């Protein structure tokens, strides 16, 4: 779809697109083509050969997320605790989302900070849980129809460490009161926006340009306190492994996957979406190719922005020490040690590469061994080339 409609879209809208958005279009168009280089594989049994072209590795590419998702799953499986986990979603209301779109770096950081501070503060309150919890959060910016809808998916431990070193579990089937979470989240994010405004850290243009005046911004902020903000909490998952599988799908999800695309005809794209306002019914929507690309590019994240972050018990700076303490309190230290020993044994028996190579699709007996490589061009070289056009 990008290869067919991308060139015309770029020619018409280049001046309005960021460098990051232009790069996404070009790299996705080149994904798994000869332009990115590749390698030649030969079967160790029947000698059949095939060429495999390189992927673009762009985090916005729907084709390139499966292997990254599997690697992430393996890397984080050691961080699971034998407790309930809860899924909490923090959503920005439409008026705040407009400000976020014009100030993505600043507001996305505030969204992460406000969500974690809210959960940490309420969970630490003895009236609710009285413990330090762990949380992993993933930023998504899209709705089902590719509209701009920034929200944060958080998976939190159903319990935590008390100040005196005990493990405290949350009530079965319940985490924290969502109405309390909603009010605290609203206050913290609006306070963060106010501080950013006072530092000159927010920009406004177009229909929001009036908010650059202090009086107008103060009135806008006051109006946001009169609206209810949405915080949604789902029931606990089936178990720790299900939690990780569920979270892995969110960490490497892009705005739209290839399987949702239905057709591309006469320059118009038809795709499936789930209508949550009408009982989660599955529907289709058809957009002009240019409008589809415009919506897709709304969700290109700022370069280098980390869309997955961990806090509390799961924070990188002290994760191993905190988790070891939690496992000891939960009586899971021995099982964890056995799992680590099994992983170490598996690593020690890794072969020279021939056994891990994919099987031959022709004879099914041999393995496809890499015998030659084609050089992958640099990013600068790729971006300097004209837009790739290929309808094959």
This prediction's pTM: 0.86
Looking at residue 270, what DSSP letter applies?
E
Residues 161 and 33 in one domain: no
**Same domain, yes or no, for 47 and 94?**
no
Q: How many residues does the chain have?
A: 392
Q: Is 94 found in the same domain as 28?
A: no
Whether 146 and 245 map to the same domain: the answer is yes
Element (H, E) at 52: strand 49-53
State how many domains the chain has.
Answer: 2
Residues 51, 170: one domain? no
pLDDT, position 124: 95
Angle at 388 between CA 386 and CA 392, to 5 degrees: 160
The pLDDT score that the predictor gives to residue 339 is 47
Q: What pLDDT is attached to residue 218?
A: 97
Same domain flag for 176 and 38? no
d(CA 13, CA 2) in angstroms, rounded, equals 14
Phi-psi region of 146 (alpha: psi -120 to 50; beta: other; left: phi over 0): left
Looking at residue 141, what is its pLDDT?
A: 96
Report if residue 140 sits inside a domain: yes
Q: What is the DSSP string of 212-260?
A: GSHHHHHHHHHHHHTSPPPEEEEPPPS-HHHHHHHHHHHHT--SS-GGG
For residue 89, how many C-alpha atoms fall within 13 Å in the half-sphere facing its CB?
A: 15
Is there a single domain that holds both residue 162 and residue 219?
A: yes
pLDDT at position 231 is: 94
Burial of 4 per CB tally in 10 Å (0-12, 13-18, 19+): middle
Residues 38 and 93 in one domain: no
Residue 42: what pLDDT? Answer: 92
Domain contains 12 = yes
pLDDT at 171: 87
171 within domain boundaries: yes
Q: Which domain holds residue 126?
A: 82-255+298-318
Whether 98 is in a domain gets the answer: yes
Last residue in a domain, options 273, 290, 318: 318
Chain CA centroid to CA 56, Å: 18
Q: Domain for residue 56, yes or no?
A: yes
The tens place of each residue's pLDDT in the chain, 392 residues long, gives: 888 888 889 889 988 999 999 999 988 988 888 888 899 999 999 999 998 888 888 899 888 877 777 777 777 888 888 888 999 999 999 999 999 999 999 999 999 999 999 999 999 999 999 999 999 999 999 999 999 999 999 999 999 999 999 999 988 888 899 999 999 999 999 999 999 999 999 999 999 999 999 999 999 999 999 999 999 988 777 777 788 887 887 888 899 988 999 999 998 999 999 998 888 899 999 999 999 999 999 999 999 999 999 999 999 888 889 999 999 998 864 454 444 444 444 434 334 444 568 899 889 889 999 988 888 877 677 666 666 555 44
pLDDT at residue 351 in the model: 40
From residue 89, alpha-carbon distances to 86, 139, 245, 344 in Å are 10, 10, 17, 36
35 lies in the same domain as 173: no
Is there a single domain that holds both residue 86 and residue 35?
no
- Is the same domain home to 97 and 236? yes
Q: Which of 215, 231, 217, 242 is nearest to 175 (CA)?
A: 231
What is the rounded CA–CA span in Å between residue 133 and residue 122? 10
Residues 307 and 179 in one domain: yes
Q: CA neighbours within 13 Å on the CB side: how many for 381?
A: 7
């Amino acid at each position: 779809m990008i290869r067919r409609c991308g060139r015309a879209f770029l020619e018409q809208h280049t001046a309005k697109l960021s460098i990051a958005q232009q790069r996404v279009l070009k790299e996705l168009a080149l994904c798994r083509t000869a332009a990115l280089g590749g390698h030649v594989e030969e079967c160790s049994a029947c000698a059949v050969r095939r060429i495999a072209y390189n992927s673009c590795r762009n985090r916005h590419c729907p084709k390139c997320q499966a292997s990254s998702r599997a690697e992430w799953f393996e890397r984080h499986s050691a961080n699971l605790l034998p407790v309930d986990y809860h899924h909490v979603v923090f959503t920005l209301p439409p008026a705040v989302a407009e400000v976020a779109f014009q100030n993505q770096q600043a507001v996305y950081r505030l969204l992460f900070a406000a969500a974690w501070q809210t959960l940490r503060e309420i969970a630490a309150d003895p009236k609710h849980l009285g413990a330090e919890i762990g949380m992993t959060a993933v930023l998504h910016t899209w709705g089902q129809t590719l509209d701009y809808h920034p929200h944060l998916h958080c998976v939190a431990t159903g319990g935590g460490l008390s100040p005196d070193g005990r493990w405290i579990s949350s009530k079965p089937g319940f985490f924290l009161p969502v109405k309390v979470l909603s009010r605290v989240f609203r206050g913290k994010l609006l306070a963060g926006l106010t501080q950013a405004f006072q530092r000159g850290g927010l920009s406004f243009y177009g229909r929001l340009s009036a908010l650059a005046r202090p009086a107008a911004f103060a009135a806008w902020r006051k109006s946001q306190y009169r609206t209810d903000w949405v915080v949604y909490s789902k029931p606990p998952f089936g178990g720790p492994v299900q939690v990780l599988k569920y979270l892995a799908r969110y960490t490497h999800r892009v705005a739209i996957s290839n399987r949702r695309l239905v057709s591309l005809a006469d320059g118009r794209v038809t795709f499936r979406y789930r209508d949550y306002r009408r009982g989660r019914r599955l529907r289709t929507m058809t957009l002009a190719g240019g409008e589809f690309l415009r919506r897709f590019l709304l969700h290109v994240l700022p370069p280098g922005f980390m869309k997955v972050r961990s806090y509390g018990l799961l924070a990188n700076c002290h994760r191993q020490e905190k988790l070891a303490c939690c496992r000891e309190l939960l009586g899971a230290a021995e099982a964890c040690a056995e799992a680590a020993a099994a992983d170490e044994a598996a690593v020690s028996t890794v072969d020279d590469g021939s056994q891990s190579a994919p099987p031959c699709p022709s004879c099914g007996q041999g393995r496809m061994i890499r015998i030659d490589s084609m050089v992958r061009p640099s990013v600068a070289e790729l971006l300097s080339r004209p837009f790739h056009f290929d309808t094959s």
